[in-house]
Amino acid sequence: MNIVILSRNGHLYSTQRLVEEGFERGHKIEVIDPLKCDLILEKEKPTIFYKDRYLDYVDAIIPRIGASITFYGCAVVRQFEMMNVFTTVTSDAIVRSRDKLRSFQRLSKAGIGMPKTVFTNYSRDVEEVIEHVGGTPVIIKLLEGTQGLGVVLAETKNAAESVLEAFNGLQARVIVQEFIKEAKGADLRVFIVDNQVVGAMKRQGKEGEFRSNLHRGGSAMYHKLDPEELHAALNAAKTLKLPVCGVDMLQSTRGPLILEVNSTPGLEGIEAATEKNIARSIITYIERNRG
């Protein structure tokens, strides 16, 4: 098969691993920068032009679309979909997952556990917003942010009010969530491929850091999911229609609580922690479905 990885950086660990496994299984693999694709639209003949050629020979794509290029990156994925090219994650699913508010609304309706969350339209009644999630400490998140960026822990009422007022002044959309103290700065990352769990790890934030992201100095180890955690992860992925994704959750006294469902999860941390070949699972997923 001719498989294209949509990525802006072919040297990233995740991209390189997918290339390696694709070649290992006898496929032709290309890494293409989605921002350098021209989308050509005409009656019954959508095409994509890249550098010096038309991409009319592609059988499947693996989108590795960063948050900063969501709009154009998803337009490229959508164009491939119109050309009947198989994609591991659809453009609609990527857009849906990038909007934290939209994701939580769908997860809430599906009855999936999550931290109590409040969204408001630049409300000046900050005290009321804080009370809705049970008081301080609270987590304040930008609606669009990755790798722990745009996430603030406000430990006191005054701190929370100051942060919210600052974001409101910048016209930045945020959500406010309850702080799950018993998680102790740790969370779970569950990697799902073809609606099956292929690996799970527990990430622990470094001392004094409430965010567990590995990019921020956190550590990771293999984690065996209990039945409730397994069900929550699979249900969250199914609800957001993401057959390949990373589900982040907290362990709490009331069960697992979903934090986020990532449509472009990295492979480095999960492969190291679980010692499993996640990249190969993604390639074989394409083989099963494209074949």
- Residue spans of the domains in the chain: they are 2-96, 117-179, 182-290
Contact 184, 227 (CB under 8 A): no
> 202-206 long-range CB contacts below 8 Å, 24 or more apart?
203/269
Q: Which letter does DSSP use for residue 197 in this model?
A: E
CATH architecture of 117-179: 2-Layer Sandwich (3.30)
The domain covering 182-290 belongs, at the CATH homologous superfamily level, to ATP-grasp fold, B domain (3.30.470.20)
pTM of the model: 0.88
Spatial distance between the Cα atoms of 212 and 218, rounded to a whole number of angstroms: 5
The answer to whether the 2-96 and 182-290 domains have the same CATH topology is: no
Contact 184, 207 (CB under 8 A): no
Sheet with 47-50, edge to edge strand ranges: 37-40, 47-50, 53-54
Handedness of CA 89, 237, 24, 222 (dihedral sign): positive
**10 Å Cβ neighbour count for 40?**
12
**For the residues of 115-171, what is the DSSP string, one character each?**
--EEE-SS-S-HHHHHHHTTSSSEEEEESS--TTTTEEEE-SHHHHHHHHHHHHHTT
Contact 261, 103 (CB under 8 A): yes
Fill in the amino acid letter for 111.
G
Kindly give the pairing relationship between strand 60-63 and strand 2-6: parallel
At 59-113, the pLDDT tens digits run 999 999 998 899 999 999 999 999 999 999 999 999 999 888 899 999 999 999 9
At 160-204, the pLDDT tens digits run 888 888 887 777 788 889 998 888 889 999 999 998 999 999 998
276 — phi, psi (to 5°)?
Answer: -115, 150
Farthest-apart Cα atoms in the chain, separation: 60
At 119-166, the pLDDT tens digits run 877 666 777 888 888 888 999 888 765 555 678 888 888 888 888 888
Query: 2-96 has which CATH code?
Result: 3.40.50.20
Half-sphere exposure of 138 (CA within 13 A, CB side): 29
